[in-house]
Chains A and B, each alone.
Chain A
Amino acid sequence: MSLKLLMGNEAIAYGAVEAGVQVAAAYPGTPSSEIFSTLAAMAREKGFFAEWSVNEKVALEVAAGASYAGARAIVTMKQVGLNVASDPLMSLAYIGVKGGMVLVVADDPGPHSSQTEQDTRKFAQFAKLPVLDPATPAEAREMVKYAFELSEKLLLPVILRPTTRTCHACQDVEVLDDISQPAAPAGFVKDPKWVIFPSLTARKHPWLNNQQEVARKIFEDASFNQLIINNNAEVGIITSGVSYNYVREALELSGLEASILKIGTPYPLPHGPVLELLKKAGRILIVEEQEPVVEDQVIALCWHNNLAVEISGKHDRLVPREGELNVNKVKTTIDKFFKVTDVDAPKTSPTPELPLRTPILCAGCPHRASFHIFKEAARGTDAVFTGDIGCYTLGAIPPLNAVDTCLCMGASITIATGMNRVEPGRRQIAFLGDSTFFHTGISGLINAVYNRANITVVILDNRTTAMTGHQPHPGLDRTAMGPAATQLDIARLAEACGVEFVREVDPYDLKASKEAAGEALNYPGPSVIIMKRECVSLVKSSARYKINPDSCAECGICIEELGCPAITKPGGSPEISKNCYGCGVCAQICPAGAIEEVK
């Protein structure tokens, strides 16, 4: 064994490798992305296959296929990615699996970077699949290994549900040094059980429902659930996942005593440890993030067993149902539960006003230029800019203010289409990235052509999947494991989708881009403009610009039009800082011609 500093995502990858994973598939999504990238980095050496799939539904189906052939497969995604993968997942529960299949879904309470705060433990209940909830990176590693075995016992996919505070938290974790090669998979054996038909579904449903009880029985002995009886206490706290950490620390800070039941298997919830706790405690507080998944099962258990227990948690609003928890929030909850008033925080001087610092597009980002170009091309019209998920979502931030809608992956094109039905005389311009286009943009584009939506689609091709950490996609020449066999050309794809007006331009060239944008907006029919220029993280800066103070008219247009972080006013007049990437866009829009390249 070796001791390593690992983030939860890395620990999960190590656990999967130690469990003999043979196929890994994923689509990037914060906070899950590093699970797969760690696996991909180990794939060749450890002899397994890893692919970045084009979207989460594909990734899950790829993993399912591997599992059908008897291999251990892992698929990872963020919680909203599970929505994309939900179709195969729901059916897979009825069909079952052969090789162990672990689905890692990373939730993002807060949220820090997601469109919803959905609780994947609830999804697991809906899908009728067991779910594990790790409190620490080390526990996440143990759970992956356990999950593969559980999956093969139950013949069901098993969900592992870490949250940001496990995914991106680091811990000293022990990992194995020697990992034996997994046995060769048995291969796919033909059998009608792999073909979903309504009659099969009807036959499998009672089996699936029974597997919930089988899982619950197995969980009765799981070490991830720990009952810590405190003989000085009359109350008990049941807690799930990372909340366990907060409960432990909050009790210490408050100096209060309680028995604690830590739950690592929130669904199906084992009854034994709960009933054991209820023998000691007449009052229970249930602390978990998001939905009352554990709480509702405990309430049902008490009702079935005729137990008169006082239960506090979400239903009596002691524990918030939104946002993530932390030690301070849990301490406030525990103090309320114990009816203890907290000592007033020491008075401090009032905090001075702090600057608003939102994430923004990097200096030199081609998206900044693209949004500027289309704002100019659409000036004087009431064009709607429908947005999508990626770095370019930041086009909504001032001063660009160039995103009017954003819903989910791929929705830019389809929302624009829907709007166009209602306001056909108005311009709808959809913006999405190259990776997003492959994810779910293509079907929206085909739909727009087939169903005749007069919209403009702007594909922001910066040659990467930027926001999540620069993962590759089918438009590039490499995969997770090496060079790609072929590199898909987005312009040709758009043409193949039936779009007659397809242009490719360089957003750094404002003149050419504005011309193309104007033509696209006036084209009677769906049009596609591909704004092709690499993300600034991919290519080293080779130029810098400066503002000539003698020519500068101090009109402020460079700042108000572009809002580039490299243009600041340290002395009151605009200056270009050392962060300048050298895109030259500001030089092209300066009305005084005061911005020049530093030679």
Chain B
Amino acid sequence: MKLDIVISGVGGQGSVLASRALALAAMSKGLAVRTSEVIGMAQREGPVTSHVRMSDELHGAIIPDRGADFLLGFELAETVRALDKLKPGGTIIASSSTIVPVSVQLGISNYNQADYIKHLEESAGRAVFIDLAEISSRAGSLKTGNVVMLGALSTFHELPFEPEQLLQAVLNSVPDRLRDVNRSAFELGRQAMEVA
């Protein structure tokens, strides 16, 4: 089997933890894994893209263009920016919440929320929008948007592991005192897919 997932967002949104959790869950099933990020300057409010790959045998860590099965977008515009990675007919789970960069405030560029949603709907086999900010806030912490996303992803049958295994990987990656809030976030993410 092979599964390629691209995660796109803004620095500081927790995409690295999300990609590692996915890789750990796949490893627990005996699969070969690769993740790839560009970290460093990107954390300073810049775009961050993580690639997660799982298969029986793997070479490179970068997913080819039009090769990703899933595109997880933690931020709306960044989801569009990563779109050429998605395979024809692929699935997008995107946050409807936005982080508008300073350049827009300064009038140097524009942020067209409605256009981005429309474009994503047209470009994917299936596009689902969930409000990560609202849901993570309900879970108890705005910092759990990444885990809400993983919860949403866990409802898809293409994953080679059980939702519980993905949740375990998340819980093993966070301090004990944050386990409950992350468990909530995961569960709310799953529930969000029922109504999406």
* Binding between chains A and B: yes
B142 at the interface (CB under 8 A from A): yes
CA distance A328 to B101 in the complex (A): 30
Q: Is the CB of A248 within 8 A of B23?
A: no
Q: Is the CB of B105 within 8 A of A569?
A: yes
Q: Is the CB of B23 within 8 A of A358?
A: no
Given known pairs A31-B40, A326-B62, the reply for A356 and B108 (CB within 8 Å) is: yes
Q: Is the CB of A565 within 8 A of B102?
A: yes
Chain A residue, CB-CB nearest to B36: A169
Q: Which residues of B contact A551 (CB under 8 A)?
A: none
Q: Is the CB of A358 within 8 A of B60?
A: no
A282 at the interface (CB under 8 A from B): no
CA distance A135 to B58 in the complex (A): 12
Q: Is the CB of B59 within 8 A of A245?
A: yes
Chain A contact residues, majority secondary structure: loop
Given known pairs A169-B61, A359-B11, the reply for A349 and B109 (CB within 8 Å) is: no
Q: Is the CB of A346 within 8 A of B40?
A: no
Given known pairs A168-B37, A248-B59, A349-B122, the reply for A356 and B80 (CB within 8 Å) is: no
Q: Which stretch (A309-317, A391-399, A491-499) binds chain B?
A: A391-399
B178 at the interface (CB under 8 A from A): no
A384 at the interface (CB under 8 A from B): no
CA distance A394 to B46 in the complex (A): 11
A195 at the interface (CB under 8 A from B): no
- Of the residues B42, B66, B110, contact of A353 by C-beta under 8 Å: B110
Q: Which residues of A contact B174 (CB under 8 A)?
A: none
Q: Is the CB of A351 within 8 A of B23?
A: no
CA distance A353 to B64 in the complex (A): 23
A128 at the interface (CB under 8 A from B): no
Given known pairs A165-B61, A327-B62, the reply for A394 and B44 (CB within 8 Å) is: yes
Q: Which residues of B contact A327 (CB under 8 A)?
A: 60, 62-64, 67
Given known pairs A354-B80, A559-B106, A569-B105, the reply for A168 and B38 (CB within 8 Å) is: yes
> Number of B interface residues, CB 8 Å?
57
CA distance A353 to B111 in the complex (A): 8
CA distance A578 to B12 in the complex (A): 14
Q: Is the CB of A164 within 8 A of B44?
A: no
Q: Which stretch (B26-34, B147-155, B159-167, B187-195) binds chain A?
A: B26-34
Q: Is the CB of A328 within 8 A of B64?
A: yes
Q: Which residues of A contact B125 (CB under 8 A)?
A: none
Q: Is the CB of A249 within 8 A of B44?
A: no
Q: Is the CB of A357 within 8 A of B88?
A: no
Q: Which residues of A contact B67 (CB under 8 A)?
A: 327
Q: Is the CB of A359 within 8 A of B116?
A: no
**CB-contacts of B33-54 with A (<8 A):** 33-47
**CB-contacts of A552-573 with B (<8 A):** 559-560, 563-565, 567-570
A253 at the interface (CB under 8 A from B): yes
Q: Which residues of B contact A112 (CB under 8 A)?
A: 38, 40-41
CA distance A567 to B63 in the complex (A): 36
Given known pairs A353-B112, A360-B102, the reply for A5 and B41 (CB within 8 Å) is: no
CA distance A554 to B111 in the complex (A): 20
A331 at the interface (CB under 8 A from B): yes
A510 at the interface (CB under 8 A from B): no
Q: Which residues of B contact A353 (CB under 8 A)?
A: 109-110, 112
Q: Which residues of B contact A172 (CB under 8 A)?
A: 23, 27, 32-33
Q: Is the CB of B108 within 8 A of A398?
A: yes
A440 at the interface (CB under 8 A from B): no
Q: Is the CB of A169 within 8 A of B35?
A: yes
Chain B residue, CB-CB nearest to A537: B43
- Contacts A172-B32, A253-B64, A353-B110 aside, 4 further interface pairs with beta carbons under 8 A come to A171-B61, A248-B60, A327-B64, A359-B44
The 9 closest A-B CB pairs, nearest first, are A245-B60, A169-B61, A359-B46, A359-B44, A245-B59, A352-B115, A30-B40, A327-B64, A356-B103
Q: Measuring CB to CB, which residues of chain A are less than 8 angstroms from any residue of chain B?
A: 3, 5, 30-31, 112-113, 135-136, 164-165, 168-172, 242, 244-246, 248-249, 253, 326-328, 331, 345-346, 348-349, 351-362, 391, 394, 398-399, 467-468, 559-560, 563-565, 567-570, 578
The 15 listed contacts between A and B (C-beta, < 8 Å) are A5-B27, A113-B41, A170-B35, A171-B58, A172-B27, A245-B61, A248-B60, A352-B119, A354-B81, A355-B104, A355-B109, A359-B11, A398-B108, A563-B105, A569-B105
